[in-house]
Chains A and B, each alone.
Chain A
Amino acid sequence: MPVPPIAAAAVPGGALVIPHGAIVWGAAMLWLVALMLAWPVPVWLSRAAWPMRAPVIALLVWQAVGLAGGLSMIGALALTGFAIAPGRPWLAVIPAAVFTIYLLSHLAVTIVQVTAQRRRHLQLLDMLSSPHPTRARTRVLDDAVPVAYCLPRGAGSVTVLSQGLLDRLDADELVAVIAHERAHVEQRHDLLLLAFRAWRSALPWFPVAALADAEVAALVEMLADDHARREVRDEVLARAILQVGASGVPGAEVDAAGSSRGSDRFKRLVT
């Protein structure tokens, strides 16, 4: 059936026509949302006290803020393009496309770098550590410095305990450390950290990206602590933290970008 001529006139070229005013208004609204999510919302979130009591919810909020912030920025750029160059859609989407590709390429580069570093680290571990006599996926590093860490990477995740740590901690404290690391591995905290690290490296001139990264890193530690606290008393976890962290070992985790969330990890054990 042929299209009636009157419909073709209302929709020239078959395209949907949105009034120019609506595009401008939409662009302004999206900029407002993007700016709110880029500055006041994350700063408020980083100063709030509730995240240390509810790290799971806080992490969800941070992910939502990061995702919505990025998408609203892309949308705002696209609509601004259409508002400025309404007749040329290919020209109009360039700013949004460039920003999207920029963010995605940083994510890709970060993934490649982290994967390469992990592979090298695992190669070194193969040479320098021995399998734990009883625990699966756990290796013992023959070094006097007390350290415990995990390399989460899907099926090949490994937890590493140094001999110095095993010598220093009692059985309960070791349970706390292992439960903490197991939470990191099982909940794939590395993926979350990777995303925020990539965002931070993509936007080095944007202090909120560093703030978000520091907050998420601290919240992930609290979440892992909560798993340890299900298995041991707070005092045991505190003892383990003191044994490992206050032993005069270098490598202070400097509070980045005005986030004081690192200290909250300890305060919440007391209150």
Chain B
Amino acid sequence: MRKNMPALGELERVVMDAVWDSPEALSAYDVQQQLEAAGRPLAATTLLTVLSRLEKKGFVASDRTVRPYRYSPVASRADHVAELMHEVLGESRDRMAVLERFVGSVSEEDAAVLRKLLRGDG
């Protein structure tokens, strides 16, 4: 199971890209067609598993009033990038120890200290 995890993550990304790139809601069959056209053919059962995982994670929503079900993104790619970057840049003061950044924003004074080192007269 653990060995399959990264592979499944990659499939989710490929499927999600197809859903994001489409201007309208897609059926599973539409997604399959698109992936095949893009050179990434996927078995229908696998695709349905991936779609249901994406739905559970809150990335896609399905319209179940029509047959076959139509899948559409819950939020745009840009919205999700914004959510991610908000967490990375840690604009909230009491952010949890979720991730460790290389460096935050360096103050002007600290930047001057570093530039001095680089000039070689530090």
Contacts and interface: CB of A to CB of B under 8 A. Distances in A.
Given A121-B87, A238-B118, A270-B116, A245 B100 contact: no
Contact of A117 (B10, B96, B106, B107): B96
Contacts of B105: 245-246, 249-253
A241 B106 contact: yes
Nearest to A113: B96
Interface-centre pick from A110, A253, A267 (highest chain B CB count, 10 A): A253
Interface in B67-122: 77, 80-81, 83-85, 87-91, 93-94, 96-107, 109-111, 113-118, 122
Contacts of B83: 124
A190 B106 contact: no
Given A117-B87, A266-B106, A151 B99 contact: yes
Contact of B99 (A110, A149, A245, A256): A149
Contacts of A197: 96-97
B97 A114 contact: yes
Given A143-B81, A244-B103, A266-B106, A117 B117 contact: no
A253 B104 contact: yes
Contacts of B13: 126-127, 130
A103 interface: no
B12 interface: yes
Q: Interface of chain B, helix or strand or loop or mixed?
A: helix
A147 interface: yes
A147 B59 contact: no
A235 B98 contact: no
Contacts of A126: 9-10, 12-13
A190 B100 contact: yes
Given A234-B117, A235-B118, A242-B114, A147 B101 contact: yes
Contacts of A220: 100
Interface-centre pick from B81, B94, B102 (highest chain A CB count, 10 A): B102
A83 interface: no
A241 B104 contact: no
Contacts of A160: 88
Contacts of A127: 12-13, 16, 59, 80
Nearest to B96: A114
Given A121-B84, A141-B84, A263-B109, 13 more contacts: A124-B84, A127-B12, A127-B59, A128-B84, A131-B6, A147-B85, A149-B99, A160-B88, A234-B117, A235-B118, A242-B106, A250-B89, A263-B107
| Closest 3 pairs between A and B when the two form their complex, measured CB to CB | A245-B106, A251-B89, A253-B104
